[in-house]
Amino acid sequence: MVKFKSSLIIIITLLLLPTTTGEIEIEANGKSDLVFVDAGDEVTFSATGTDNATSVEWDFGRDIAGNGTRYSNLSSITHTVHASGRYNVTFTAVYEGEDIEKELILIVNYEEEYQEDISHNEALFFAIAGSELIMSAMLGYWTHQIRKEKVYL
């Protein structure tokens, strides 16, 4: 019975102790793990479960929205992402004696719209065709002059 009472006291003590590390969740625009956005979109990064952390840090892998935006020590931050590519985002929460890291991948897609119409393409065609006709006429004239004079190089 003494073993049971001491075990029960240990279990109750452990349950009553404040948890130092809660379950940390990180998201970008409400999604976790793998997030797809278009270039120019605003992305909100948020972390929950960091109440007892002594410090937090986001590492976006590279500057995400201009110079000096690779790191942030805020639990929630919003950036407008312009550079396309893959961002390996790491969130670190530091507790007394323990660091917890969470990761997500942000894929920024950039698609340029294809513009088929080229302005003044007909004018360019006629300019090139006209210059070719003029050069052909000059070549024909000089060829005729050389044959008429019977002067060969």
Contact 95, 53 (CB under 8 A): yes
pLDDT tens-digit map of 10-32:
665 545 544 444 588 999 988 88
pLDDT tens-digit map of 97-113:
788 999 999 988 866 66
Which pLDDT score is estimated for 132?
93
Q: Residue 135 domain-assigned?
A: no
Domain that holds residue 83: 21-109
Q: Residue 146 domain-assigned?
A: no
Q: Residue 54 domain-assigned?
A: yes
Confidence of residue 65 (pLDDT cuts 50, 70, 90): confident
Q: How many domains does the chain have?
A: 1
DSSP string, 106-142: EEEE--PPP----TTHHHHHHHHHHHHHHHHHHHHHH
Q: Residue 6 domain-assigned?
A: no
**CA–CA gap between residue 143 and residue 153 (Å, rounded):** 12
Q: What is the CATH number of the domain that holds 87?
A: 2.60.40.10
pLDDT at 5 over 80: no
Which pLDDT score is estimated for 111?
67
Which pLDDT score is estimated for 64?
81
Q: Residue 134 domain-assigned?
A: no
Looking at per-residue pLDDT, the higher value among 12 and 56 belongs to 56
Per the prediction, the chain carries an average pLDDT of: 81
